[in-house]
Structure 1
Amino acid sequence: MRMFLATFLLALAANAALAHGPTPQKIQQSIAVAASPAAVWAVLGDFAGIGTWHPDVARGEGSGGNGEGATRTLTLRSGGTLQESLDEWKADGMTYSYRMGEPDLKALPVSSYSATVTVVPDGAGATVSWIGRFYRGDTGNEPPDALSDEAGRTAMNRYFADGLKGLKAKVEGKPAP
């Protein structure tokens, strides 16, 4: 009986080690902008205004302004739609945090995400940081490559990088990248 119990417990432990769900992913990007923090925040701080500076966004629509619970719907140039809601908006700290609603795997291959953007002084200019936390598109144990952790990291990094470059170009008065 002891041998059976030991074998059963070993098998159970082995299965638990092999059967793991998704792990939380995190990305962070930042960019220096040759403008005052206030000038950067005047563009970035409008939660629904992302379509005016993010080159991947074909159209952005929002409701609720910059109040907690505000929403925005972003239609991406590559296809798909992002539904996002504002969790926290602090003008005095030049920062806001938001999260995705229902996932659209065509838009981004992630099942959920939350993000925070922040503007801080940096010499004569400003630095914008964008931090995101997310889970891959397929939360099963064996996701297809297109919905894996790597696919999620690649897509989120590209989306953040494109956005930061677009914001920099808009605030500095240069052509969009």
Structure 2
Amino acid sequence: MLVKLAALGAALLLFGATVADAHGPTRKKVTESVEINAPAEKVWALVGDFQDMSWHPAVESTAGEGGSETGATRTLTLQGGGTIAEELAKHEPEKMSYSYRITDVDVTVLPVTNYSSTLTVKPGEGGKSVLEWRGAFYRGFPNNNPPPELSDEAAMEAVSGVYRAGLDAVKAKIESGS
């Protein structure tokens, strides 16, 4: 009887591993934020226009249509090549927040799929503010056993790097007064 139970347990473990492997990727989330020594309104004035990402050091230029209205589009041309097409899902200036999604990107440029994101400015204490950037996405390779450059880790590292570079650039720009 003990041998049968052990065999059943081993079979269940093997079946469980097979089912887990067959599941595929899970949605990943990244949140980065920075405290800025400036009022929230000043930070929002810099980042709140969906058509202007000149504040991000990786963005060479932005071209788009629709302003900051829901459904507006923009194409980011990146330093060193590559483009990312995005669509505005929600723009709430009264909450100093907007949400968007990537509609087209080569995974060699940013190793993600099904990406959506929100940028929000929140008032902080003592006249400071907090700029938060959060996103959810899947890795760039939709099947099991992704190559390293399209793995969950690569996707999370890339998105976190994009966010950190942008947030740090906004902080430096606003706090230096330039």
TM range (shorter): 0.7 to 0.9
Does 1:160 find its partner at 2:163? yes
1:116 equivalenced with 2:121 (yes/no): no
Match for residue 20 of structure 1 among 23, 27, 33: 23
Matched, 1:151 2:154: yes
SS class of match (2:171): helix
Map 1:1-177; keep pairs closer than 5 Å: 15-50=18-53, 52-123=54-125, 124-173=127-176
Matched residue SS, 1:102 = strand
Q: Which amino acid in the other structure matches residue 153 of structure 1?
A: M
Q: Counterparts of 2:177 and 2:106 in 1: how far apart (Å)?
A: 32
Percent of residue pairs identical: 44
Q: CA deviation at 1:174?
A: 5.3
Classify the secondary structure of the residue corresponding to 1:154.
helix
Residue aligned with 2:31, SS: strand
1:3 corresponding residue in structure 2: none
Alpha-carbon distance in structure 2 between the residues aligned to 1:140 and 1:174: 47
- Give me the whole-angstrom Cα distance separating, in 1, the residues matched to 2:36 and 2:20: 46
Q: TM-score, normalised by structure 1?
A: 0.88
Distance 1:159 1:122 in 2: 23
Distance 2:27 2:130 in 1: 26
Inter-partner Cα distance in structure 1 for 2:149 and 2:95: 37
Structure 2: gaps spanning 5 or more residues? 1-7
What is the Cα deviation at residue 13 of structure 1? 5.6
Pick closer, same or farther for the CA change 1:44–1:14 going to 2, 3 Å. closer
